[in-house]
A and B are shown apart, each in its own frame.
Chain A
Amino acid sequence: MESPVEIVQHTAGGVIGASWLMIAFPLLGAFILLVFNRFTNRWGHLLGVAMSLASFVVAVLAFFELLGLGEEQRRQAVHLYEFIPGMVDMGLLIDPLSISFALLITGVGSLIHIYSIGYMAHDEHRRRFFSYLNLFVSAMLLLVLADNYVGLFIGWEGVGLASYLLIGFWQFKPSAATAAKKAFVVNRVGDFGLLVGMFIMWTTFGTLTFSQLGEEVGKGASNGTLTAIGLLLLLGACGKSAQLPLQSWLLDAMEGPTPVSALIHAATMVTAGVYLVVRSGAFFFPEGSAQALAVAIVGAATLLAGAIIGCAKDDIKKGLAGSTMSQIGYMMLGAGLGPAGYAFAIGHLITHGFFKADMFLGAGSVMHGMNDEVDMRKYGGLRKYMPLTFVTFIVGYLAIIGFPLLSGYFTKDGIIETAVHHQPVLGWLAVLGAGITGFYMSRMVFMTFFGQKRWAENAHPHESPAVMTLPLIILSIGSIFLGGYLILSNTLMDFLAPAVGAPEVRPEFHPFTTPGLATLALVAVGAAYAWMKYGKAEVPAVQPRGSFLTTFARRDLYGDAINESLFMRPGQWLTRLAVFFDNRGVDGVVNGLAAGIGGSSGRLRRLQTGFARTYALSILIGAALLTGALLLVGTI
């Protein structure tokens, strides 16, 4: 492997020097919208969009400035200020990896901002919604742009907060409030891992800056330490990216408004885990090490689990959420394969950002036209009523199942090929996952856009306004072409090489390899089976009971049940025990002591008779005793 190039300190001004503006713009937007509150109600959403677009413009300019530099110069550290004196200098790292993320976040983020103008038009708290979106964009940019783990962690918590606020945006719904809390709690587990990982880094290497950590690790460190850090970082990544075993919050997170699901819980935030693993590549080296293998295994397990869950969901958003889990599983699998897989993982991340946002926004558009109905069994035959939504959704669908020549085909195939090459077992599991993907995504399309109408009586499906369809069109264009552009002739790999290193063997794109063909065949079989079951045949309006496997999938593979029996119930027992102990033991001792003191005081206070002569008597007795004592001491 070629190691990444050295990070150079950015000296000249230019856009890279001012790249902190990317973070500052949306932060300012969130600040204004939150502080000036109701006064910004009329134009708040426009300000939010403007701030996001401004951030996007800065990102694009920085990107081109970076392209203008030589390859050796492409890792620019921008020092901002001394954050914790003597420990952490806050700075930004502008390199191909972070700028790719910044472009994705600000680009897709801006589109979703625009879409939300239409989607949230009738919500009286639209201004608040935009303030949270801006807050999210700002935090996410800090996460990917920071040149040290502390900054990354601040952004990490910031997006967690924004995610919490946005999942629970309709807080009057108990389910939304609970889902928000669940996301927050599960994420804490992951954050704990990340924090402890950072602690170990600090005590072992004495720094938290990416560049210095790279040098220190290069000088050598014990395998045990690296494994520990790697596994802890993986725990953090699992929490944020909803990977097994911390996957349970993502499906519930769909309680939030659909643009939130698209932006945070599909395109950007949930991919932060992948970013963390790739950015911390130094700790996952070499690719065969335990921690890297763990990443790959988690990815493979999650991609299957997500796909299986996706097969059984009737809620269109939850189906997409399962699919998101599954696709992030692919990315994790790629990230676990070392530099060979990094480019594909990031590529899949970017294309997934486009096609999944496209489909989520499409789903949002469908819901918008169907009175916020999410049950796919109440859709059917919508292609005639929402042509634009239908076409863009189909594009996203084809991209995700890996239809040849669309974005997802190149990136996912790249991951599968690399996986089969490096970890054959996991690779073939990924092939199987691709087949299942073909089934459940087809099922979704057939149930929604084909077949008979199964609408509720008051449904009047209609196409969404232009402000919502325009982002759909732009995203679907990205879903078609982006993958080919990034993967064919290794554009992305060469671009990322300065940041994450490049594999020793440059992969060539071969369309007709065994795993590739097998994937295509399985996808075709899956799609055909879905057509048989949901396209041609009548879809029952009420959910049938289903087999054991269906129930298994519907219950999210019993993830919640496991959490409940493994953590919640023992926790409750522990709490009850503590309460009992507190009531009987601690309170008993404390109350007994208080009662004892109170009782004896009640008796002792009788000594205070109020008669001055009694007090004088005690004084004289005391004086006599003192004299006696002095005498005794004197004679002894």
Chain B
Amino acid sequence: MPEIRSGSATDAPRADGPEVPPPLLEVRGVTKTFGGGRRRLTALDGVDLRLGKGETLGLVGESGCGKSTLARVLLGLERPDAGTVRFDGTDPFALRGKDLLAWRRRVQMVFQDPFASLNARMSAADLISEPWRTHRDVVPGAKAREKRVRELLSLVGLRDGDAHRYPDEFSGGQRQRIGIARALALDPDLIVCDEPVSALDLSVQAQVLNVLSELRERLGVAYVFISHDLSVVRYISDRVTVMYLGKVIEHGETEDVFDRPQHPYTAALMSAAPVLDASYAGGDREIQLKGEIPSPFDIPSGCRFRTRCPRAEDLCAAEAPPLVVRRAREASDPHTALCHFPLEAESAWA
């Protein structure tokens, strides 16, 4: 039986064991709204995240779930209204001047659209070396920079000769490699990947995913990997966080979340995603959700998923759902969900 406690989805004790090292990234109760009055959009509502060094966290959700806003908060492009972000113990939003610049080096981003995220008027070498024009001491000297650009190009699988080409001369996959090389230019500890392969063709998508996982092994960089594609998230992530309308509704180790989802939304999401192999996930027992995601201007009371949930009852409208914690194996991370009526492990597909 799952134990039930109040709190939010990642606010649970870690598995018992030796001293847990402080996480690289810790997000607690981050809330972000836009606009005011009746046009108040709640993009993030008390989001918690935790990510260790060199780990990959998959962030799953549909449009309007707040994943892109969360990415912008993690990069310091948006300031949260409430809650804290701790990066290696420090709050990036309290930093100024040199300290802020030093922090910026450590968190970088790979964008979804490899066309719009590269300035078409700059060559590959200019694009990759652009961060050094602000962070002058990272790679000092023109010679050293040229050399480093070549290293980065080969790291992401491009050639030396590509340095002087412009973005329109590259294919989508190659552009995304430039984007990755640029994110690596400052030797970051964390790269936020916002749908990095969803604009790419399948055969190229696999190449880029390989580049990303290779870099993780060689450089020990951590990823927050945002995607709507469950098979990609399952392949690349150590842990998975599922978001719905600005809230984390389920969190756990990848196997736990995929094999034994607790939240009906997670289960529906997985059954809705088309798969090659009918036996792979969910089988033919497709869970059809009613309607579409409610507007983030007008979030339902109680459980925000209740308007589409096949298991919803009166209680779901009246009360915010409790945090359900399940521990699949002894030493594993807790697997949490926010739900009044979580799915049992064995009846996940009922």
**Interaction A to B:** no
